[in-house]
Chain A
Amino acid sequence: MDQSRVADPALGQEVLRTWAELGTDALLLLDSSRQLLWASPNSATVLAQSGPVGAANGVGLVPGTPLARIADDPRAGELVGRALERGEICRGEISHDSWRRVLRAVAAPLHDQPTPMVLVILSDITHERRLSRAHQELLANLSHDLRTPLASLTLLAETLTGEARDDPAAAQDFAGRIAKEAAHLHELVSAILDLARLEAGAEQAQMEVADLHQLVSAVCAGLAPQAKARELEMVCQGGPTMARIDPGRLRRALANVLDNAIKFTGRGGRVTVTSGLIGGSPTIVVHDTGSGIPASALPRVFERFYTADRSRSGAGSGLGLTIARQAVELQGGRIEVASRPGAGTTVTMVLAAPGPSPVRLVV
């Protein structure tokens, strides 16, 4: 390309016009009384509001409109005022659309004009902010969940080699608790790695047609000692039901769900695992008679690290149900939770049938 053309004013104008039409930033030109002189054609789209009144509905982007009617955050007016007063570029963040969105705002005074003017560039950074918040929450939870057992291990080990050294019964107790904390840490790190692999999409489901009931019986048998230790009755019912599943991942998902059911059901309670066809789909239902989940917490149970009570020791990694959902969804299934405080919790895993017409061996 002829480099001299870059300096061509006509080319420059076309570039700016294209940016103003297609770019993701809204450009507003304001006079010294903060009234709109001009808005880029894409401004209506960028500033579109979700409420009944807004730029997208034709309100606010005609010349003469005060800035306060375009951007509802008073900080927008303050930013423009500062840019006019100081004659320099001012940057800030404003909320928009009744605090539902965050906009990055740059107010640049135009110096070579007969009257004072300010160009305001608004960029929607709501998504960026949400991601940053989710990232921060993940790090905070990771840090909390890893540091709690590490801090406990430090103190337990110090006590074991210190005051409990000459007391065999106490030493035994502390050694047991160290093993328990270490197992918890091991479980947590494994869960984090599993989840990272699942979320990265690096894992492929190893699908095969298998008997659901056989798999369910094996998982129940594996967790029976845990249920017995907590004096719970665990019932595994149903008959052979063929399904198209990834047996390894489904075992892990069911073990996580059952582990939760056992942990949150009090002594003398009951955990029932049923496998069979429901509505034509191979399904596993885990029902417990535990304390249940409050309605306010129910939408959050599949979130990473969500635990209703952070002060509990060894209550779990807060990743079990997240991994269960990822694992079930990876094999084309779905998982649902229903609960009422005091009436227990029911987790339903609906899986893929082996073919167009599911085969059911036993009704």
Chain B
Amino acid sequence: MPSLFLVRHGVALDQGEWTMADELRPLTEFGWRQAVAIGRIASQHRVSHFYSSPAVRCMDTLLPAAHLRGVTVGAAPELFETEEPRGLEAAGQLLRRLLDEYLPAGRETAAACSHGNVLVPLLDAAGLRDPSRCPKGGVWRLQVEPGQAEVRVSSMGHLSPRSQEWER
């Protein structure tokens, strides 16, 4: 079944520690470890297409996974964070657009990395229980049966800063 993996960027430097443009704010060392862990998940599921918000912390979260596959990460401006979170209806529209545009044909899979305030309403629109639990470095799988409107969503977990383990 075709899958689209939604990814929240890894842990980045605090805004207070960063004086340059926010979209250039980089991942921390732990954020890079999360990116490597996400690379493992992407490899297990043979993710072949990568899209990301143009923010450096998002692009870098998918970079190790894309390099492993030998491809680049495509910049997707619609995944850039919004000032206010989208309402449920607007999030549903974005979800449909992502599935239409990024979900590859056949058995291939794609991953899209974005920000918390984009992902929470998206996961809500996809029907995830407790979408507000959206940790940094988290991965969610969206599956759609060909020709069907219904989306199946499940949490794949994240590399936890507390346990330093992949938690589901």
Contact = CB atoms under 8 A, between A and B. Distances in A.
B73 A311 contact: yes
A144 B26 contact: yes
Contacts of A144: 26, 56, 60
B59 A155 contact: no
Main secondary structure of the interface of A (DSSP, over half): helix
A151 B35 contact: yes
Contact of A155 (B24, B64, B73, B75): B64
B36 interface: yes
Contact of A152 (B52, B56, B68): B68
Interface centre among B19, B20, B63, B65 (most CB of A within 10 A): B63
Interface centre among A155, A177, A312, A313 (most CB of B within 10 A): A155
Interface string A119-137: 0000000000100110011
B121 interface: no
Interface string A91-108: 000000000000000000
B16 interface: no
Interface in B10-34: 18-20, 24, 26-27, 32
Given A136-B19, A155-B39, A158-B40, A147 B68 contact: no
Contacts, number: 66
B68 A133 contact: no
Interface string A129-157: 10011001100100110011001101110
A133 B20 contact: yes
A140 B64 contact: no
Contacts of A143: 26
A126 B32 CA distance: 33
Contacts of B67: 148, 151-152, 155, 181, 313
A235 B131 CA distance: 60
B18 A136 contact: yes
Main secondary structure of the interface of B (DSSP, over half): helix
A260 interface: no
Contacts of A129: 19
Interface string B40-74: 10010000000010001001100111111010111
A340 interface: no
B19 A148 contact: no
What band does the interface of chain A fall in when counting residues whose beta carbon is under 8 Å from B?
A: 20 to 34
Nearest to A314: B67
A197 interface: no
A228 interface: no
Nearest to B50: A311
Given A132-B19, A313-B67, A151 B59 contact: no
A139 B149 CA distance: 46
A152 B66 CA distance: 9
Contacts of B39: 151, 155
Contacts of A147: 27, 32, 60
A354 to B, nearest CB: 45
A65 interface: no
Contacts of B66: 311, 313
Interface string A279-319: 00000000000000000000000000000001111000000
A129 B20 CA distance: 11
Nearest to A150: B32
Contacts of A49: none
Interface centre among A132, A133, A154, A177 (most CB of B within 10 A): A154
Interface centre among B19, B43, B60, B67 (most CB of A within 10 A): B67
Contacts of B18: 136
Interface of B: 18-20, 24, 26-27, 32, 35-36, 39-40, 43, 52, 56, 59-60, 63-68, 70, 72-75
| Closest A-B pairs by Cβ, 6 of them | A151-B64, A152-B67, A311-B73, A155-B68, A155-B39, A140-B26
15 contacts: A132-B19, A136-B18, A140-B20, A148-B60, A155-B40, A155-B64, A155-B67, A158-B40, A163-B43, A181-B67, A311-B59, A311-B66, A311-B75, A312-B72, A313-B63
Given A147-B27, A151-B67, 5 more contacts: A152-B68, A163-B43, A311-B63, A312-B72, A313-B66
